[in-house]
Structure 1
């Protein structure tokens, strides 16, 4: 009879995990792709100044910052980590087109 070993996985979806991660490593991080590598594709579908952009699970990525630098406007970044949202709100306080919102699950 085969037995399965129980393995422990990271709690990526837990606010406490994200808060700890961003406290320990506050630098910008893009998990899958960065903006420069995706910008040609994004330009095909998201035209400058014509769309509102919602970035779900923004983390501390510089993705939105790069897009604003390229001329895109009207961003809302949301994340479950209060640590990262507070840092992003402070960092982008002088950028009115970038809004950062803490998403609270109850």
Structure 2
């Protein structure tokens, strides 16, 4: 399991290696809906999936397994059981974006 760093910006692009492959994770703050939206790009900056609403304590990739998304799972962990992921929550560390490797998925109940 790895923690994905999130910048304090309305739009950020982070390069990460997940299960041995390079991906770019774009997090964008949607001020009208008041939620974070995730897009995933491959190593060539080709969009794999866009528009995933980042919901607390919810696996984010399950509905997109037919695409070339990472083999593991991304989750926004919310230790204080809040029901939203606010604008500053990720950068402040109140909510943590984690990736559970494919091989660890069997050991984790998401």
Same-fold call, TM cutoff 0.5:
no
- Larger radius of gyration between Structure 1 and Structure 2: 1
Instruction: Flag the structure with higher helix content.
Output: 1
**TM-score (normalizing by structure 2):** 0.24
Instruction: Flag the structure with higher strand content.
Output: 2
**TM-score (normalizing by structure 1):** 0.24
